[in-house]
Chain A
Amino acid sequence: MLAVGLWDAIVASLAYLIVLPLMAIFIHPLFLLGYVIDLPAVAIPVIAKGIERGELGRVLLSLPCFLAIRLVNSVFLLRAVWSELVLGKSLLVFEKGH
């Protein structure tokens, strides 16, 4: 499960930040739909849980934010992978930044 999650995170991050923009530019702008095409898969269980908790409004407001935060997460994930695997700077040790 860890391997699947790591693979997903790395490949999806590369797709969101590099592959999809390039395909949208060089093949067809419709490839930009790739940013939202999986929203139903995420939205259905979240909406179901939101109804159960009586928080449907909050769920519906949060879904567009999820799309934005996913892009930000992609940047952080790729930075972490670069740091861990390429620079050899392990994230096991926390270094206070200020």
Chain B
Amino acid sequence: MIGVPGTGLGGVFYALLVVWMAVREVGLAARGAGDPKRWPKIAWLAALLAAIILVLATEGWLLRLVLDALSAPADPISAAPPDTSAEKNSQIAVMGAIAPALAIAPFVVLAAIVAAIHVARLTVRPNPIPLPGETTEARLGAFAPSSQEASNSDPVRLTETRPAQLVRDRAA
């Protein structure tokens, strides 16, 4: 279940997950492992997504109409618009240039964040000292030492808490 869409990257993430759910289910069905009971839920989420996209597209269209109306000369019969209109036109042109970038930016940023997470997962090792009440295995997850490594390490280190480690470091 993917929850309720947010805005910004959360909304993009939601949309991509809905698409992924459908693609994955098609793939499973092609291999004979699909579950027809999942389709109504996927269809409902896809319908929500389609409605959101439709409303946002309508909103964008209305905004474009407003921007076009604002950028039109105040008096189309007169030969040249006043200077203030030229300034407004340049401001609206800036907005028109920013809008497509704002539409693409969430996808670029989302891709960058996902890539950064994977790079961090491969390169950064978490702190092996558990928080109070936390087991070492739960903290380390995939980085947890094998049983052979654990038996070779200091048993105190696997159970002590962060404050205990701080006290020991300061004493040293």
Do the beta carbons of B91 and A27 come within 8 Å of each other? yes
CB contact list, B1-41 vs A, under 8 A: 4-11, 13
Q: Does A37 contact B (CB under 8 A)?
A: yes
Which of A4, A12, A41 counts the most B-chain CB atoms under 10 A from its CB?
A41
CB contact list, B90-137 vs A, under 8 A: 91-92, 94-95, 109-110, 113, 116-117, 131
Q: Which residues of B contact A28 (CB under 8 A)?
A: 88, 91-92, 94-95
- The B interface, classified by DSSP as helix, strand, loop or mixed, is helix
* Chain A residue with the shortest CB-CB distance to B17: A1
Q: Does A55 contact B (CB under 8 A)?
A: no
Q: Does B63 contact A (CB under 8 A)?
A: yes
Nearest chain A CB to B96 CB, angstrom units: 11
* Chain A residue with the shortest CB-CB distance to B45: A45
- Considering the chains assembled together, what is the distance between the CA atoms of A37 and B66 in angstroms? 14
Do the beta carbons of B48 and A45 come within 8 Å of each other? yes
- The A interface, classified by DSSP as helix, strand, loop or mixed, is helix
Nearest chain B CB to A91 CB, angstrom units: 13
Do the beta carbons of B6 and A44 come within 8 Å of each other? no
B interface residues, tally (CB under 8 Å): 30
A interface residues, tally (CB under 8 Å): 24
* Chain A residue with the shortest CB-CB distance to B6: A8
* Chain A residue with the shortest CB-CB distance to B55: A40
Nearest chain A CB to B63 CB, angstrom units: 7
Do the beta carbons of B113 and A46 come within 8 Å of each other? no
Do the beta carbons of A40 and B59 come within 8 Å of each other? yes
B residues with CB within 8 A of A? 4-11, 13, 48, 51-52, 55-56, 59, 63, 66-67, 70, 88, 91-92, 94-95, 109-110, 113, 116-117, 131
